[in-house]
Chain A
Amino acid sequence: MRITGWSIDGFGQFHKAEVTDLPPGLIVVHGPNESGKTTLMDFVTGMLFGFPDRRSPKRRHEPVNGGSMGGRLFVLDQAGIPVTIERGASRKSLMVRDEHGERSATAVADLLGHVTPELFDNVFGVDLDALQGLRSLDEDAVRERIFSAGVVGAGRSAELALATLAARRDELFKPRGRGDSYQLRTLRTELVKAAEELRSAQQVAAGISAQRRDLDELREQVGVHRDHGRALHRRLELIHAVDDVWPAWSAALDARAQLEADSEVVLPILSDDYADRLADARRQVEAQAAATRDAESEVARATDQLEAIEVDDAALAEAPQVAALDQQRGTELARRKRLIELDGHLGHYRSELDAQLGRLGPNCDDDWLATRPQTIESEAEMRRISGEVQRARTALDRAIQTSRERDRALNLTTERLNKAKAERAAAGDPEAARRRVQEVAALYDLVAKLEQAERDEQTQRIALDAANRSAGSGLPSWLVPAVGGLAVVAILAGIGGVVGGAAAIGAGSLVVGVGLAVVAIMLARHRPAALPTDGSGGPVVLPATADVVRLAEEVASRAEALGVGPRPSTVDLMNLRQDAAEAHAAAAGALQTHQEALQTETDHEDYSADIRTVDRQSVADADAELVRTTEVWNEWLAEHDLPAGLDPDGVGEFLAQLNLARQTQHSLTTYTADRASEMAESQAFAAAVTEVAERLGEADSDVIRLLDRLVSRTAAAREAERARDRQSEVVTNLTQLHRSRAADTASAATALDAVVAEAGASDVSEAEAVIHRHNERLRLQSVIAEAEKALELRSGNRRDESLELLAGGDPLGWQAEGLEVEQQIVAADAAHHQAAAELTRAEDALAATIASADVAQLQFQVETLRTQLQRAARDWAVLTNAHRIIEATRERYKRERQPMVVKRAAALFAEITEGRYDRLVVDGSTVYVVDTASRQVDAASLSRGTVEQLYLCLRFALAEQLATTSPLPLLLDDILVNSDPGRGPRMARAIGHVAERQQVFMFTCHPWVVEMLTNEVPAHVIDLPSSRKSA
């Protein structure tokens, strides 16, 4: 397929843009930046594969200058038939037609040789980014990129894809790898482990019946041990019971024997409480006798104590007066404290008043103060007169200050004038500075004209050189007219032949004529323009040279006048211009300042004389007023008996001090009267206390201490009186008690005699002997009853067994058996406990087994691991298959397609390197270049510039290889911009060779690239206007 043109309805900035009749070979599309080269590339790609929709990240190039999006692309198909591809924004808008009408929907795919958009982008489109990207890669990445450029051509190499998939696959499992670190093996190991644990847990669960049987056996064993222990415990209990009862039982046997022996003596019948009653009666007699003796002793002791008490009767008589005085004690103490306080106040106010009088004036004392009038009128008058003096003082100060400030202003004006004069003298003449600025500007313009003239001269020289090269190609000047003449002759002959009936000859002549005409036109286009000469065929004189010489002379002249070299540089010019401008500005500024200062000086000279006179008069007037008011003030002070030196400014302070002294004097008078009153009352109290004390024979210098002693003495007298009354009452009571106890003792003796008679005894001793014998019989009977009771209590329902043992009467034997049974019990209990513990453990284990979630947990774990393993294996299988598919494809590709690509790339590369590298060798995934000496070099180690060229050769070769079935145009976007001057032209020629086989579009914004390409190979150039023009 070959593109012959396009017609753009609307696409980006293009609107109604049409190009037709594009030739095969190299098409150079040139235009400045923003002229629409990329837009045009996208238009061509979009026409072939469809425009991106709105969801696509690719740029859509909506029309900005009108028209509906899309247009037509004119191509020739494989058979050379013109075909028009028409598209709009919608995918459904595609229409493909030729001279016979519309083609099928698959026509575009057929034209494209079923190349996908991705393949087109990656093989047939080469841009600068792909080349510049090589510069940022490391050697391995460059190696991979170089290899993929010629092998896969789908944007990514098979080797990289294989490595990626292998890495992912091998993480899961590597068939010949060692170790268990692969995910599949790890999972399998975990699964096996979990499955084994599950089996163990299942076996435990399955053994539940056996576990239960074991449990039943254990329960039975526990029962046997328990029964044996219980029997031993019963025997031991019996032994212990008999052993416990034996002492009582043995005593009962003796008691029975004694009762038997005493049964012949008959005793009187005594009540059960006889012994108690006898003892009570006897104790009553003894107790009453003792009480009577004690009462007698108490009476004697109380009487002695009564007689020992003494009472102070004189003090008792004065006690009411002392109590009355004691009640006044608090008042007297407060009075004494008040007197001390008053003394303090009097001292303080006395010294305050003295100080205040001293501050009022030297002759001011208590009397002077007392005679001062206290009227507000006098104070107001004093303030008025002193105020007049103060205002006069202020007026005088202001007049003096105003006069001084005006003096300072006049002096400042004079200083400014002097400074402005000095500045003007230093700045120089402003007019001279302005002229220098104009001269520098003129020189600046002249230099610019000279540089333009020099550029024109250079351009004319390049054009002349090109014309000379063209002229040297060998076309004689007569050739075009000659060929044109022949063409006219042939055409006329052809017309004549046709008209004359010789149609065949005529047609042939016409064809020849038209052909000669076309040749003549092409020769005319390539004929160089007329060259400028000196008119005699001598050396060529360029038109711009005279201007250069003239302008250079003029520049040198003006530069000398300004003090710089004959051909000042741009920096010199800029410095000159800046210096001149600064000098001009300084001079103009100084002149203005001077003029302003002069005006100010003139104004002040007229004004200053008048103002100085006025100021002096103002000061004199203010001073006279101050003298007058001061005299009035002094007269007023004397008239009112006030201190002569009192300053009018201190009047406020003086009046405040006066009022303060008056208040202090009043306080002093009040406190003096209070003290006299308090002192009189205190002296009356002291006289009353002293009078009472004298009657009781007491004396003390301190009244309060004397009062304390009186109070203490009267209190002691009262207490002695009360003690005597209480003791007298005690003696009376004790005397009555003694009489009562004596009567009770006689009654008790009578009662005792009656109780003794009940036992048929004559005295207490005999009665007690009867009681003793009676009690012994009762004791023996009690012993027997206790033994029976003990036997019943200890043996319970085992009385017969106990009596049987007791009949043996062998306590030692019982103890021995008891020890033996105890040992047996210990052993039996231990066996029971052991069995019971084992039973508990077994029951717990069974309960835990039943309630355990172990099996469920392990089942869950096994299932999750099985699922993980299954998924990992599936992923591994997919990865393995994918890897193998790519591997097999790569092998086929290497075998069938790669050799042709490499061979063609080597030819192109040899041309670019001028035969330095004449072969390429592919080993595995590495491309080697081989030089003429058969040295093999890894392509990745070449310079980046050479790597870029090799990369392009491989891409061109791959495109050519694909072009055998899909001959699509190559779209190259400014790929020569980084070429050095040496290899650039060779690269251009290589592109020309590619263009001989398939159409190549080279987009560039650099005129020199266009020039280089058109110099090296035949090319059709399309110039795109700038975006502003195209809009």
Chain B
Amino acid sequence: MFTFLHAADLHLDTPVTGVAGRNLPPATGETLRDASILAWDALVDTAIAHGVDFVVLAGGLYAGPDFGLRAQLCLSDGLARLGAAGIASYVVLGHDDAAPTGWGAIDGWPDSTHVFGGSPPSGQPVESVTFEAGGETVTIHGVSNPARPLPDDILSRFPAKPTKGFSIGLLHVGQGPNRLPVTELTTRSIGYWALGGARTPTVHHRDPWVVEPGTVQGRNRGDGDRGGPGVQLVTVDSGRVTEIQSLAVDLVRFVRATVDITSLQSITELVDRFQAAVDPGHHDGRSVVAELVVNGSGTLHDELVDPTAAAKILKVLNAGAATTPFVWVDHIDWRTRPALDLDEVRQGTDFLSDLLATAEGAPGTEDWQDHLPTLPNDVARYLDTDLDLTSGEITARALDLALNEFAGGQA
């Protein structure tokens, strides 16, 4: 019996995105900056703690000097630490890894590390390494494709006939249009496909196993990259996978939570809901970076439209921003509304009904969007074109804002 750790997509020193970090404590900022590096260190510690026989890394490790050089050093140091603990490492590089010229900060890989070569000439099998682990013969077939897509026939280079012992296929299948179709992998004579490229842990097939472990450390890039278990601990006994366990080695989780104020009676209740949502205890004890949304309409709305109240809530929530684990609420999206029945308002004849009609472009109203000012080019150049919102969403938010100005009670 032997065990190995399967990981991919370390994305060392790739920055987190979508975090504004205003007034972020410096130490917390450094933790966020170094999260991928620290997670890699934790991965190495985990491998040593579990006493695995070897580690396989399926690409997505380091994208090149545009992301600095220290990642190379950290990666090399971690591999050396594994080697010092008697754990061999088997590595392929993927299309989003740096080309060989981009690895100039280190002189080479530690002796305990084997980095698979690129695609062999057409018709030739991919490189394979055979060794003994736990009294069993293990063969790893792998191919690196740094900074370029995999050739179309790459699957045919993996063995179609059974070989002695347990076979592992090591490959970075990537993301996007060039992603290799994983459904075809089961046609090859591989017991465990150790893949890389997916943001979330995915078991595509069982026996033969086709597994993508997900990212080791989330980067808040979309819903699929918010963090969580990103390492697979695989146990093989007598040539068969007997257990797969997902492990988390990340430091920071990215959380998005929504609270509806309709049934809430006090700010304290709202803060309690928020704190429950971002409590590290609900996120495996990890530090939390959160974006919160508040919606609904209720008695709290009038209190929440006061910017000072909103600022105080944010301050209260960020009281733990400098602790370990930390909680950082980066942004609260205030989407509450006054308690108005818009259908009623539409049928009225007062200013509010006119406001609604104007915003919704009712017949007889002028097109208010005709004279909208725009942002100057020097600012707009640095923005995503849709500002994260559609024009409809902006209009809806603008209408809420306008209604708030008039439905907030007697002046």
Contacts and interface: CB of A to CB of B under 8 A. Distances in A.
A218 B387 CA distance: 52
Contacts of A392: none
A152 B406 contact: yes
B205 interface: no
A874 B70 contact: no
A974 interface: no
Nearest to B371: A884
A874 B387 contact: yes
A57 B298 CA distance: 12
Interface string A209-225: 10010000000000000
Interface of B: 13-22, 24, 29, 32-34, 65-70, 72-73, 101, 104-106, 265, 299, 331, 340-341, 344-355, 358-359, 365-366, 368-369, 371-376, 378-380, 382-384, 387-389, 394-395, 397-399, 401-402, 405-411
Given A114-B344, A155-B410, A878-B397, 18 more contacts: A113-B349, A114-B345, A114-B347, A116-B345, A154-B406, A164-B405, A184-B375, A850-B72, A850-B105, A851-B69, A856-B67, A859-B15, A863-B15, A864-B22, A881-B369, A881-B397, A964-B349, A966-B348
Contact of B34 (A122, A123, A192, A853): A853
B379 A892 contact: no
Contacts of A862: 15
A874 B389 contact: yes
B362 to A, nearest CB: 11
A828 to B, nearest CB: 31
Contacts of B344: 109, 114, 116
B104 A175 contact: no
Interface stretch (A365-373, A556-564, A647-655, A865-873): A865-873
A621 interface: no
A6 interface: no
A156 B405 contact: yes
Interface in A873-893: 873-874, 876-882, 884-889, 891-893
B361 to A, nearest CB: 10
A939 to B, nearest CB: 17
B36 to A, nearest CB: 9
A414 interface: no
A965 interface: yes
Contacts of B380: 873
Contact of B366 (A208, A891, A965): A891
B375 A873 contact: yes
Contact of A877 (B104, B106, B387, B405): B387
Given A116-B341, A860-B33, A863-B17, A885 B355 contact: yes
A115 interface: yes
Given A155-B406, A860-B16, A889 B354 contact: yes
Given A56-B299, A856-B67, A881-B395, A153 B351 contact: yes
Contacts of A879: 398, 401
Interface of A is mostly: helix
Interface in A156-173: 156-158, 160-161, 164-165, 173
B379 A856 contact: no
A849 interface: yes
B375 A173 contact: yes
Nearest to A198: B66
A152 B13 contact: no
Contact of B350 (A123, A201, A205): A123
Given A156-B405, A869-B382, A889-B354, A853 B348 contact: no
Interface in A76-123: 109, 113-116, 118-119, 121-123
Interface residues of A, number: 84
Contacts of A964: 349
Given A114-B348, A173-B375, A856-B67, A893 B354 contact: yes
A857 interface: yes
A191 interface: yes
Contacts of B22: 864, 868
Interface of A: 55-57, 109, 113-116, 118-119, 121-123, 130, 145, 148, 151-158, 160-161, 164-165, 173, 175, 184-185, 188, 191-192, 201-202, 205-206, 208-209, 212, 849-857, 859-860, 862-864, 866-871, 873-874, 876-882, 884-889, 891-893, 962, 964-966
B66 A154 contact: no
A871 B348 contact: no
A797 to B, nearest CB: 39
Contact of A853 (B70, B365, B395): B70
B345 A121 contact: no
Contacts of A860: 15-16, 21, 29, 32-33
Contacts of A880: 372-373, 398
A1025 B375 CA distance: 66
A55 B265 contact: yes
A873 B382 CA distance: 10
Given A852-B68, A859-B13, A119 B350 contact: yes
Contact of A885 (B18, B68, B358): B358
A208 B350 contact: no
A109 B344 CA distance: 8
A297 B197 CA distance: 118
B381 to A, nearest CB: 9
Contacts of A184: 375, 379
Nearest to A158: B351
A155 B13 CA distance: 54
B399 to A, nearest CB: 7
A987 to B, nearest CB: 23
A884 B394 CA distance: 12
B237 to A, nearest CB: 41
Given A116-B340, A857-B33, A882-B398, A892 B354 contact: yes
A853 B71 CA distance: 9
A191 B373 CA distance: 23
A873 B366 CA distance: 25
A878 B394 contact: yes
A56 B346 CA distance: 25
Contacts of A891: 366
Contact of B20 (A154, A852, A867): A867
9 contacts: A115-B350, A157-B411, A173-B379, A202-B65, A855-B66, A868-B21, A870-B387, A874-B387, A888-B365
Nearest to B360: A885
B68 A205 contact: yes
A856 B33 contact: yes
Contact of A881 (B341, B348, B398): B398
A990 to B, nearest CB: 23
Given A55-B299, A874-B388, A886-B405, A852 B69 contact: yes
B340 to A, nearest CB: 7
A823 to B, nearest CB: 40
B20 A868 contact: yes
A321 to B, nearest CB: 100
Contacts of B410: 121-122, 130, 155
A206 B68 CA distance: 8
Given A175-B373, A868-B22, A116 B348 contact: yes
A206 to B, nearest CB: 5
A173 B384 CA distance: 17
A869 B17 CA distance: 13
A940 to B, nearest CB: 16
Contacts of B359: 885
A148 B373 CA distance: 27
A893 to B, nearest CB: 6
Query: 5 closest Cβ contacts across the A-B interface?
Result: A855-B68, A881-B398, A114-B347, A888-B368, A161-B405
Contacts of A874: 387-389, 394
A188 B378 contact: yes
Nearest to B330: A867
Contacts of A130: 410
A804 to B, nearest CB: 48
